[in-house]
Amino acid sequence: MSFSKIAAAGTVSLLALAGTTQAQTQIDWWHAMGGELGEKTEALATAFNASQSDFVVVPSYRGTYTETMTGAIAAFRAGEQPDIVQVFEVGTGTMMAAEGAIVPVYQLMADAGVAFDPSAFLPTVVGYYTDPEGRMLSMPFNSSTPILYYNKNVFAAAGLDPAQPPRTWAEMESFSRQIMASGAAECGFTTGWVSWVQLENFSAWHNLQIGTLENGFGGLETELTVNGPVQARHWENLARWQQEGVFKYGGPGGGADAPPLFYAQTCAMYMNSSASRAGVLNNTPDFEVGYGMLPYYDDVAGAPQNSIIGGATLWVLAGGSAEEQRGVAEFFNFLSSPEVQAQWHQDTGYLPITQAAYDLSAQQGYYAANPGADTSILQMTLNTPTVNSKGLRFGNYVQIRGIIDEEFQRLLAGDVDAQGALDAVVSRGNALIRDFEAAN
């Protein structure tokens, strides 16, 4: 703790030294975008700084999502917090509960007198980050949703129609078996983010409740309910398919081993974030990639519903001066303008957060030139979100994600059956949610 305080204080003083013009108000922005995404992120700040002369946004890369969030929290405890911090979606519960530490975006915009229309945003994106009254708490920045990527060359070699991705899990299995039998590929499919894709999105996509009280949006007394029969059936299938080689497990968390399985043509299909699109295209020069929506069980009523998002939003931390907050409001206004959003969306594969940005991209001919780039948006907006598919919000969710991974691993290792694994997710997860409730 003491070390982070010193480190944070050091960074802040360095940033102060680096400030260019004294007259401009400096706005510190901590983010977790490394590599190419980092360059695009810094470019946004540069563009904003060039567009006006009152404020200077100083972006600063703070490591992974977890490191950025915990770093900002440690800095807050030391009174050295940045104005804006990028927090991943599973940190939403923690940030929201920290009343007094954060400034909700709706309030920020009203206080600063910046014109702001929440209805311009895509409901499925913004819905994740609103309070029960529908007011926006944080600024969506990089949101994505999982989609299906498939290898068209392998499909053709296996005698399947390369233009037709599987729509249902039954097709997923039969296509996989045909591919394996033909020798076109060794395995049917793999997946990144088991927790996010094969449980959270799976539930939303089938219009199944993830937790009580509107998936946790309604209050801290929520309880997980992901151990229903449909989820158990799906996990049982995944375990069986793993045994039979139809499915290959790519590891916990993001599933670091999943992308190479798809790139090396070991597995013919792959489910992961729509923001993986650029990475997929860069790594697959030898074959053509097709895009599809997530598969569903066609005998489940209400499926397919709509998928939910992942990614991160920008939170405003309390403690900045009124002038700094006005600068943040102006910056957010800049970020949500159609031109900036459309460019960001096209450069990175993240979702556009406003309808106008999507329309602009379409008008610019982006989707016509890049088939599959709009799969994510079509899937997200397939139906009006229900209480089950609006998103989810639970305290201590970072750890609960870890529990989902652990129980899935126990299932695949044969230590427990699917129902047992999901029951354990629910009971262990609920214990953490109770802890969170007690601490807040």
Contact mark string toward other proteins, 1..20, x via CB under 8 A: xx------------------
What span, in angstroms and rounded, lies between the C-alpha atoms of 383 and 389?
10
What span, in angstroms and rounded, lies between the C-alpha atoms of 167 and 297?
9
Find out whether 57 and 141 touch, Cβ atoms under 8 Å: no
Contact mark string toward other proteins, 191..210, x via CB under 8 A: --------------------
Q: Cβ of residue 393: shortest distance to other proteins, in angstroms?
A: 15
Nearer to other proteins among residue 248 and residue 393 (C-beta): 248
Find out whether 209 and 388 touch, Cβ atoms under 8 Å: yes
User: 310, 124, 89, 302: which is closest to 203 by C-alpha?
Assistant: 302
Q: Cβ of residue 258: shortest distance to other proteins, in angstroms?
A: 8
What span, in angstroms and rounded, lies between the C-alpha atoms of 201 and 89?
13
Strand 84-88, strand 310-317: pairing: antiparallel
- E strand or H helix that includes residue 335: helix 322-335
Nearer to other proteins among residue 257 and residue 323 (C-beta): 257
What span, in angstroms and rounded, lies between the C-alpha atoms of 75 and 318?
12
Candidate residues 28, 89, 214, 405; the one interacting with other proteins per rule CB under 8 A: 405
Find out whether 37 and 1 touch, Cβ atoms under 8 Å: no
Q: Cβ of residue 273: shortest distance to other proteins, in angstroms?
A: 19
Contact call for residue 23 and other proteins (CB under 8 A):
no
Candidate residues 103, 197, 412, 422; the one interacting with other proteins per rule CB under 8 A: 412
Find out whether 57 and 334 touch, Cβ atoms under 8 Å: no
Nearer to other proteins among residue 371 and residue 414 (C-beta): 414
Residue 168: CA count within 13 A, CB half-sphere: 8
Contact mark string toward other proteins, 61..100, x via CB under 8 A: -----x---x--x--xx----------------x--xxxx
Candidate residues 124, 222, 272, 396; the one interacting with other proteins per rule CB under 8 A: 396
Contact range with other proteins by CB under 8 A, out of 169-177, 221-229, 320-328, 405-413: 405-413
How many other C-beta atoms can be found within 10 angstroms of the C-beta atom of residue 243?
Answer: 11
- 3-state DSSP call for residue 246? coil
Contact mark string toward other proteins, 96..125, x via CB under 8 A: -xxxxx------------------------
Nearer to other proteins among residue 53 and residue 64 (C-beta): 64
Of 227-266, which residues contact other proteins (CB under 8 A)? 248-253, 257, 260-261, 264, 266
Q: Cβ of residue 397: shortest distance to other proteins, in angstroms?
A: 10
3-class SS string, 31-50? ECCCHHHHHHHHHHHHHHHH
Q: Cβ of residue 58: shortest distance to other proteins, in angstroms?
A: 23
What span, in angstroms and rounded, lies between the C-alpha atoms of 46 and 66?
25
CA 203, 204, 207, 208 dihedral sign is positive
Contact range with other proteins by CB under 8 A, out of 27-35, 159-167, 287-295, 398-406: 398-406
| Residues near other proteins, by CB under 8 A | 1-2, 66, 70, 73, 76-77, 94, 97-101, 248-253, 257, 260-261, 264, 266, 396, 398-399, 402, 405-407, 409-410, 412-413, 415, 435, 438-440
